[in-house]
Structure 1
Amino acid sequence: MSIWVILIIYLAVMIGIGVYCKKKTSNVSDFVLGGRSLGPWFTAFAYGTSYFSAVVFIGYAGQFGWAYGISATWIGIGNALIGSLLAWLVLGKRTRIMTKHLEATTMPEFFERRFGCKKLKIVSALIVFIFLIPYTASVYNGLSRLFSMAFGFDYAYCIIAMAVITAVYVILGGYMATAINDFVQGIIMLGGIVAVIYFALAEKGGLFTAMKSLAEVSDAGVPQGSLGSLFGPDPINLLGVVILTSLGTWGLPQMVQKFYAIKDNASIKRGTVISTLFAVVVSGGSYFLGSFGRIFVDNLEVGSNGKPVYDSIIPTLLDSALPDILIGIVVVLVLSASMSTLSSLVLTSSATLTIDLIKPLRSNMGEKHMVRIMRIFIACFLVISVVIALNPNAYITTLMSISWGALAGAFLAPFLYGLFSKKITRAAVWASFISGVGITVVHMVLFSLGWFPGLVEAVQGLGWKLNILSPINAGAFAMLFGLVLVPVVSAFTKKPEQEIIDHAFAGYQSEI
């Protein structure tokens, strides 16, 4: 009963914030960016809660805690230092200044105005819409598994209910409702993760006893003692996870768009500290908790496709370690993380479709009409994501890796270099789009869809230390390849027009 009370209060507060913020969303800038007026706390929490969701807490923490033991905590540390601290230091100020000067409200608009090419906007908008869908489905997947554990609900009903609730408050209040809810959700996440770790470790006799039990675990693929070691049984593939989940945020439209909306440079400095500390606690704590999965789960569940269901590890751990009242807190914790991520994803996708694809076809479209269309697209986007998530064999890590690999592989390099360098060419941007999406899609077709079992078996038989079958390593490679490809292509292709360069970088001079 206590779980229901906590849940109902939480949902009522969220929807109430959406109703309150509806009065403050009179135009597109208000709906998409909150009028570019958010301070450091709201922006930092919006960044952190969009970053970490059920995908991390249920999917990644469970699977990689199981695979790498205590060394999985390095993923959380990488998220804090690379995905938060460095992202804010390198991207924050320059993104805010250039996007404001170019009057860009989405990443596709940035590519159009920074490089002077409308086709870049159209193609990047399509990439955003297509590849944000599997990420959204992965969030539903993790959230629904936890709800099934806590309430005994059917998996499908959980997914549909979460879609409806997300739609209500995002459609009503837009970015401002999302940001305020993110702040409330972030506070719940910070307190909840600390409480869960404390009680989970207490169940096994404290930290040192739990570490000793973990070090004693061994099976066919994990030498005894390796799960309790500093770099774990597989440091090479662990590095691939760190790169994907940390560097990937630099090229994700729903993440960098947070810098568009922040109020001023002073807010960026304070937001950097807040965001980094948030990531240390939430991401570091999630992977640290997941690393003890093996001492809580005796027999790992196997799915209908014959593969282990890693997404069940954390729910099983929580069910065996926590009293009912704390399970209620955890449900709200993961719901908080997931709803904030979902709201960011659907808002980014609907804004991209409306501003970058629909508006150019109807030049006389008014502000209120655009906001209305965005709300319709939010509903459509959620429906498509739900259909994908209803596949019980669609594992969280696979869905997220495909999404992040394509988006960050395509966008990270041209976005990053575009903020700093005047030498980046349109051809280089196109090359990055093609390589990022191409590497991800080709890898998915060959190894993730099960269409070529003979090829998969042949690669497995090679016994390479670097697991090239992993969509995570493919995504990490796509990002790093783009960082090399863009300056190389720029060196051998037609230079950008000086007028475009001068206009794009004029904002920095005005700021000075």
Structure 2
Amino acid sequence: MDYGTLLISLLLYLGITVLLSVLAYRHTKTKKDYLLAGGETHPFLMALSYGSTFVSTSAIIGFGGSAAMFGMSLLWLTFCTIFVGVFVAFVIYGKRTLLVGKELGASTFPEFIALRYKSEFIKKFCALVIIAGMPLYAAAVMIGSGRFLEQLLHIDYNLAIIIFGVITAAYVITGGIKGVLYNDAFQATIMFLGMIILFAVTYSKLGGITPAHQALTDMASLVPQSMVDKGHLGWTAMPALGSEYWWVVVSTLVMGVGIGVLAQPQLVVRFLTVKGPREINRAVVVGGVFILVMTGVAFTVGALSNAYFYQTLGKISIAAVMDATTGKPNIDSIIPLFVSSAMPSWFGYLFMLTLLSAAMSTLSGQFHVIGTSLCNDLYKNSTLSSNRFSILVALVASIYLALKLPGSIIAVATAIFFGVCAATFLPAYTAALFWPRATKSGVIASMIAGLASSILLMAFIHAKEATALGLSNILFGKTTLVGMPWVYIDPIVISLPLSAVTLVTVSLLTEKVSAVSLVEKPSITK
């Protein structure tokens, strides 16, 4: 290991981060600056910030590892994130969010929903869901970075988590959303370059695009029988329709994240940082290309890692990361092991910066949203000092979870949070933008139904969470209360429709909220 090159790379990276943080601090004078960057963000900057916040080490390490297990079928998630997460999110949701948000004078996601329905309860409820749930997602991001630093630098995993979290929180605390946006743009540039190089070198190692894909296709006979029994048909094929793995890929990984992105508070607030709808339109192409490269490369390389490890070690990817203590594979270690084994040493340093950038950009948005939800929405004590203290609280909670969560958790934890956000927030958020007939009672009932059904399904039905929680086993003497296929169908498949139906039904039976003028007749056009 060339420690000189490593030290120079880290110092240069941290130096630019500090410089951008100082610049953001000097331009952050008011609450609006801290929460919304003054509402004057350039569309290119907003798109990069949105993309780098969306794509984190969860996508690169966690979902890359999942792709090593499930194969190229995860590319459906790439399609979903581009179509739903960028086109639908920007063109359909983003512009209306900006128009309604400016008319309402909203600065945060909970405030946006609460002002639309004139309900303090809604604001506090949304804030509590964010404060309680988002540290799980933040912890998943930290775990991805910690595992890579542990693999590459051979440093203690716990120490890597703590150092990484403290550095990220530092620039969010000082510069608010401007610190987040400035650093996001810098980090997105590194991420884009790193993933392009990873894509090219991976195919070069495997002899080119056609030989690499043919080699992976020919490995179908190497799928362990235990995986075949669950529907695995090879790394270039979808799992068998209706099988356990099919439901995991389609309902948890693709739908959970692909649809859940629309209701992510840290992403929704990005739309409120630009001047008008025209700027959001201009951001679509940048956001789409960025997401395509980030997720497409991660999922492709994850699947192809099987071919590389088989050619070099005689093992498929999950066998290469088998934990000797537990006897189970830790799929969160597949991408770090692939990079440290297959890539030249200089790329290891670049990819380290890529992962640091991916994680820091996502964590900064998460810390900012948790902090503002705690300070601005829950306790109504929104000063610069109180916002900064709230971010410290978010940091401590996230680090604690990152140190306590088990292995192979990154993709699952991310999908859980995205799914809960979709079931709890998406119907209410959609109605706030497009359905004036929605009522406060309907929205409250919808959010409670979405959250409660998600929690109950995870505790008693969905096998992955029910097994880990053990509550069903304690109360009823069995891991789950039902059998196939329900134990593998992600809660979002049930909880999101239930939440939407509840909103419509209760709204039609209760009195309509006096509509904000913008919702009926948009008055901001620029």
TM-score normalized by the length of structure 2? 0.89
Which residue of structure 2 aligns with residue 239 of structure 1? 250
Separation of aligned partners in 2, 1:187 and 1:507: 39
Which residue of structure 1 aligns with residue 49 of structure 2? 46
Q: Secondary structure at the match of 2:171?
A: helix
Which residue of structure 2 aligns with residue 450 of structure 1? 470
Check whether the contact 1:42–1:179 (CA below 8 A) recurs between aligned residues.
yes
Separation of aligned partners in 1, 2:330 and 2:287: 32
Which residue of structure 2 aligns with residue 17 of structure 1? 20
**1:388 aligned residue (401, 415, 418):** 401
**2:332 aligned residue (307, 311, 316):** 311
Once the 2 structures are TM-superposed, how far is the Cα of residue 510 of structure 1 from its aligned partner? 4.2
Which residue of structure 2 aligns with residue 490 of structure 1? 507
Residues 418-437 of structure 1, C-alpha deviations (whole Å, 9 max, x = no match): 10111111122112221222
Spell out the pairing of 1:95-244 with structure 2 (5 A cutoff): 95-215=97-217, 216=219, 217-222=222-227, 226-233=233-240, 234-240=245-251, 241-244=253-256
Once the 2 structures are TM-superposed, how far is the Cα of residue 161 of structure 1 from its aligned partner? 0.3
Which residue of structure 1 aligns with residue 288 of structure 2? 276
Structure 2 segments unaligned to the other structure (5+ residues) = 310-316, 461-465
Residue type at the aligned position of 1:273? V
Which residue of structure 1 aligns with residue 351 of structure 2? 330
Once the 2 structures are TM-superposed, how far is the Cα of residue 304 of structure 1 from its aligned partner? 5.4
**1:411 aligned residue (425, 429, 450):** 425
Q: Secondary structure at the match of 1:156?
A: helix
How many residue pairs get matched?
Answer: 494
Once the 2 structures are TM-superposed, how far is the Cα of residue 47 of structure 1 from its aligned partner? 0.6
Residue type at the aligned position of 1:430? I
Separation of aligned partners in 1, 2:16 and 2:367: 20
Check whether the contact 1:405–1:476 (CA below 8 A) recurs between aligned residues.
no
Check whether the contact 2:24–2:182 (CA below 8 A) recurs between aligned residues.
no
Separation of aligned partners in 1, 2:283 and 2:486: 37
Check whether the contact 1:101–1:507 (CA below 8 A) recurs between aligned residues.
no
Structure 1 pair 386–458 and aligned structure 2 pair: CA distance change class (3 A): same
Residue type at the aligned position of 2:233? S
**2:498 aligned residue (474, 478, 481):** 481
Residue type at the aligned position of 1:239? V
Q: Secondary structure at the match of 2:299?
A: helix
Separation of aligned partners in 2, 1:458 and 1:174: 45
Check whether the contact 2:256–2:416 (CA below 8 A) recurs between aligned residues.
no
Separation of aligned partners in 2, 1:476 and 1:145: 31
**2:487 aligned residue (458, 468, 488):** 468
Separation of aligned partners in 1, 2:472 and 2:441: 33
Check whether the contact 1:248–1:479 (CA below 8 A) recurs between aligned residues.
no
RMSD: 2.2
Q: Secondary structure at the match of 1:423?
A: coil
Structure 1 pair 510–69 and aligned structure 2 pair: CA distance change class (3 A): closer
Structure 1 pair 442–20 and aligned structure 2 pair: CA distance change class (3 A): same
Residue type at the aligned position of 1:3? L
Check whether the contact 1:83–1:245 (CA below 8 A) recurs between aligned residues.
no
Spell out the pairing of 1:243-392 with structure 2 (5 A cutoff): 243-295=255-307, 296=309, 297=317, 298-302=319-323, 307-359=328-380, 370-392=383-405
Residues 400-425 of structure 1, C-alpha deviations (whole Å, 9 max, x = no match): 23322222211011101210111111
Q: Secondary structure at the match of 2:320?
A: coil
Q: Secondary structure at the match of 2:27?
A: coil
**1:433 aligned residue (447, 459, 470):** 447
Spell out the pairing of 1:32-71 with structure 2 (5 A cutoff): 32-63=35-66, 65-71=67-73
Structure 1 pair 452–303 and aligned structure 2 pair: CA distance change class (3 A): farther
Q: Secondary structure at the match of 1:501?
A: coil
Separation of aligned partners in 2, 1:449 and 1:197: 38
399-408 vs 241-250, greater mean Cα deviation: 399-408
Check whether the contact 1:468–1:474 (CA below 8 A) recurs between aligned residues.
no
Once the 2 structures are TM-superposed, how far is the Cα of residue 507 of structure 1 from its aligned partner? 6.7
Once the 2 structures are TM-superposed, how far is the Cα of residue 124 of structure 1 from its aligned partner? 1.1
Once the 2 structures are TM-superposed, how far is the Cα of residue 230 of structure 1 from its aligned partner? 4.7
Structure 1 segments unaligned to the other structure (5+ residues) = 363-368
Separation of aligned partners in 1, 2:420 and 2:227: 31
Once the 2 structures are TM-superposed, how far is the Cα of residue 469 of structure 1 from its aligned partner? 4.3
Once the 2 structures are TM-superposed, how far is the Cα of residue 84 of structure 1 from its aligned partner? 1.3
**1:31 aligned residue (30, 34, 37):** 34
Which residue of structure 1 aligns with residue 463 of structure 2? none
Residues 459-478 of structure 1, C-alpha deviations (whole Å, 9 max, x = no match): 5xx4x3x46346xx124543
Once the 2 structures are TM-superposed, how far is the Cα of residue 239 of structure 1 from its aligned partner? 1.9
Separation of aligned partners in 2, 1:402 and 1:117: 27
Once the 2 structures are TM-superposed, how far is the Cα of residue 200 of structure 1 from its aligned partner? 1.9
Once the 2 structures are TM-superposed, how far is the Cα of residue 34 of structure 1 from its aligned partner? 0.2
Check whether the contact 1:249–1:256 (CA below 8 A) recurs between aligned residues.
no
Which residue of structure 2 aligns with residue 365 of structure 1? none
Once the 2 structures are TM-superposed, how far is the Cα of residue 312 of structure 1 from its aligned partner? 1.0
Displaced runs of 4+ in structure 1, greater than 6 A? none
Structure 1 pair 457–21 and aligned structure 2 pair: CA distance change class (3 A): closer
Separation of aligned partners in 2, 1:303 and 1:271: 47
Q: Secondary structure at the match of 1:108?
A: helix
TM-score normalized by the length of structure 1? 0.91
Once the 2 structures are TM-superposed, how far is the Cα of residue 45 of structure 1 from its aligned partner? 0.6
Separation of aligned partners in 2, 1:79 and 1:336: 20
Separation of aligned partners in 2, 1:305 and 1:378: 35
Which residue of structure 1 aligns with residue 6 of structure 2? 3
Q: Secondary structure at the match of 1:302?
A: coil
Structure 1 pair 475–108 and aligned structure 2 pair: CA distance change class (3 A): same
Q: Secondary structure at the match of 2:162?
A: helix
Separation of aligned partners in 1, 2:444 and 2:232: 47
Once the 2 structures are TM-superposed, how far is the Cα of residue 285 of structure 1 from its aligned partner? 1.4
13-22 vs 215-224, greater mean Cα deviation: 215-224
Separation of aligned partners in 2, 1:480 and 1:407: 13
Structure 1 pair 38–19 and aligned structure 2 pair: CA distance change class (3 A): same
Residue type at the aligned position of 2:19? G
Once the 2 structures are TM-superposed, how far is the Cα of residue 50 of structure 1 from its aligned partner? 0.7
Structure 1 pair 320–477 and aligned structure 2 pair: CA distance change class (3 A): farther
Separation of aligned partners in 1, 2:515 and 2:480: 50
403-412 vs 135-144, greater mean Cα deviation: 403-412
Check whether the contact 2:149–2:352 (CA below 8 A) recurs between aligned residues.
yes
Once the 2 structures are TM-superposed, how far is the Cα of residue 131 of structure 1 from its aligned partner? 0.7
Once the 2 structures are TM-superposed, how far is the Cα of residue 356 of structure 1 from its aligned partner? 1.3
